[in-house]
Structure 1
Amino acid sequence: MPVSKKMVERLMLAFSVVTAASCSFAAGMQPATSVVLVSEEQGEYGMVVKNTDATASLLYTSLENIEEDPEKLLIVTPPVTRVEGGETQLVRFIVQSKTPLKHQRLMRVYFEGIPLSKSKIPNSVGVTIRQNLPVIISPKGLAVDSEPWKHLKIALCGDTLRVTNDSPYVVRLAQQGKLQPSGLLVAFPKSYVLPQSRLNLKLTAPSKANSVRIHPASVYGYAVKHYDAPLVACSL
């Protein structure tokens, strides 16, 4: 039997109600910001995390390296601690790099709250929310750049889009861009371009273009207005 548009809308509404009901009992550890910014010069950074639940939970904090950079640059303390309902906890990120940093480095941090008591509401479902945030570690003396994506050098070399970041800054952006004016989609493999790195992106079809429209994120993790990066000459 064919499914009518009205039936689909009813199913979607029912799914939304169930999802909302489940999330209302979620254990929520809410970090103060969406990015952790650590300065090598200061040696550490403190992030305030709030338990938005009414009851106590254990806050688990763990660091994870990205696959391109396995070096353990930070330690986090406390890795596990009890946080009462509605209260906050300061989590410290301490630099432990053995050699001075030459450019920004990228890691990830996970904040997860585990409820210490079961819900008294019948048939409720307990859900833990795991927050996953980027961690950017900046070397001593590096000035803050609010538009690091403008350092990208992008060239169209036949059917390959070559993206070079020879700056000391991590560039964070959406994983989809568009060649201009053709509108051909470009897929980035990650949501970041590391300092001193180059990406070679194969295009799905030949295209003429004079710029690439990307959708970057600010230093603090917020989406900003798109940026049309001009294409530079292709060189080996």
Structure 2
Amino acid sequence: MRIPDRLALSLIAGVTGLGVLCGHAMASAVLPSTSVLVINEADKEGSIGVKNTDKVPVLLYTKIARLDDEDLDAALIPTPAAVLVQPGETQVVRVLYRSNQSLDKEHLARVMFMGIPPKTDQPGRISLMLGQDLPVVIRPKGYKPVDNKWEYLKWRISGDQLCVSNETKYAVRFVNAVKLVPGDKNVSMPKPYSLPGSDNCAPLPSGYMPQAGAQVEFSAVSDYNYILDGRRASIEHVAPQAPGKMPSTGEVQRAQPDNEVGASAAPDQPSAAPGA
């Protein structure tokens, strides 16, 4: 088990004077108290502490990023969106959830914290703005935690693609670099998550031939943003169909290894399994 790198995906450099090679760097960094922000629908908000680890005051700027494939019909409002934080101090940032509709499944978003350093006019100085980009999980009322939710994902080979589908109410996160075994063939999935009701596919390695007992090995991400390596799930092989032909009983083959991980039945009740 390991914790993913929480260093910001954004790095903005303002170069003055003599430039990078001859200058001195002045970095500003902010550090969240947790690696994931959870918003419960019943609470209508979530909160997180963000510490200024620099020796100078920074302007803490917070922004919510929505995922392109999310259908969340709600407003996510950070407050305060911008605030001055003194050296060593921690600012509590709330993210308000506002919607006229009730949730029936989990949703995902991202929150970005940027520490903007004070302006410097000193020649040869470089001001760096370092930030943090964290996942936001929005949970419906009645949420009940379920362990190993990634076991409910369904992996299949369809034609020349590896696909993963999510038929549950959970939003499941994983590292998108996965491996086919046996053979140790690497596949890069298009997204590091699987939203409820989604189906995502990626091209198989050139020349790959499915084998009996084939599995996908991947790293799952827990509710608390821990990375759990070495998860495995069986792969269903969907045989190609001729145009207009209905699939017969023998055209869908599912590998059943002794240590199969993904054979658990998906939760039936949305209220009991709206998961993350």
Into which bin does the TM-score normalised by the smaller protein fall? 0.7 to 0.9
Note the C-alpha offset of 1:204: 2.5
Note the C-alpha offset of 1:201: 2.4
Match for residue 236 of structure 2 among 214, 232, 235: 232
2:74 and 2:97 in contact (8 A); partners too: no
User: Pairwise mapping of residues 19-38 of structure 1 onto structure 2 (< 5 A)?
Assistant: 22=25, 25-38=26-39
Note the C-alpha offset of 1:160: 2.1
Note the C-alpha offset of 1:207: 2.1
Match for residue 78 of structure 1 among 77, 80, 97: 80
Cα distance between partner residues in 2 of 1:84 and 1:137 = 30
Q: What is the count of residue pairs matched by the alignment?
A: 213
Cα distance between partner residues in 2 of 1:225 and 1:201 = 21
- Structure 1's unaligned 5+ residue stretches are 1-17
Instruction: Check 1:108–1:88 CA distance in 2 against 1; reply closer, same or farther (3 A cut).
Output: same
Cα distance between partner residues in 1 of 2:193 and 2:176 = 8
TM-score by length of 2: 0.71
1:203 match: 204
With CA pairs under 8 Å and 6+ residues apart, which has the higher RCO, 1 or 2? 2
Residue 226 of structure 1: SS of its match in structure 2? strand
Note the C-alpha offset of 1:230: 1.2
User: Pairwise mapping of residues 142-157 of structure 1 onto structure 2 (< 5 A)?
Assistant: 142-157=143-158
Higher strand share: 2
- Specify the code of the residue in structure 2 equivalent to 1:102: D
1:182 and 1:208 in contact (8 A); partners too: no
1:104 and 1:168 in contact (8 A); partners too: yes
Note the C-alpha offset of 1:117: 5.2
Higher helix share: 1
1:109 match: 111
- Specify the code of the residue in structure 1 equivalent to 2:232: D
Cα distance between partner residues in 1 of 2:102 and 2:81 = 25
Residue 150 of structure 1: SS of its match in structure 2? helix
- Specify the code of the residue in structure 2 equivalent to 1:104: E
1:129 match: 130
1:56 and 1:82 in contact (8 A); partners too: yes
2:180 match: 179
Residue 228 of structure 2: SS of its match in structure 1? coil
1:56 and 1:117 in contact (8 A); partners too: no
Note the C-alpha offset of 1:144: 1.7
Residue 149 of structure 1: SS of its match in structure 2? helix
Cα distance between partner residues in 1 of 2:98 and 2:40 = 12
- Specify the code of the residue in structure 2 equivalent to 1:141: G
2:218 and 2:232 in contact (8 A); partners too: yes
- Structure 2's unaligned 5+ residue stretches are 1-20, 239-251, 253-276
> Which range is displaced more, 28-37 or 110-119?
110-119
Identity fraction in percent: 34
Cα distance between partner residues in 2 of 1:144 and 1:172 = 15
- Specify the code of the residue in structure 2 equivalent to 1:106: L
Per-residue deviation, residues 145-201 of structure 1 (Å, max 9, x unmatched): 342211101112232222111111111111211111121211111111111111132
- 1:93 matches 2:92: no
Cα distance between partner residues in 1 of 2:143 and 2:236 = 26
Per-residue deviation, residues 204-229 of structure 1 (Å, max 9, x unmatched): 23322421001111111121122111
Note the C-alpha offset of 1:64: 1.3
- 1:217 matches 2:221: yes
1:168 and 1:195 in contact (8 A); partners too: yes
- Specify the code of the residue in structure 1 equivalent to 2:129: T
Q: CA RMSD in A?
A: 2.0
- 1:57 matches 2:58: yes
Cα distance between partner residues in 2 of 1:28 and 1:184 = 38
2:218 and 2:229 in contact (8 A); partners too: no
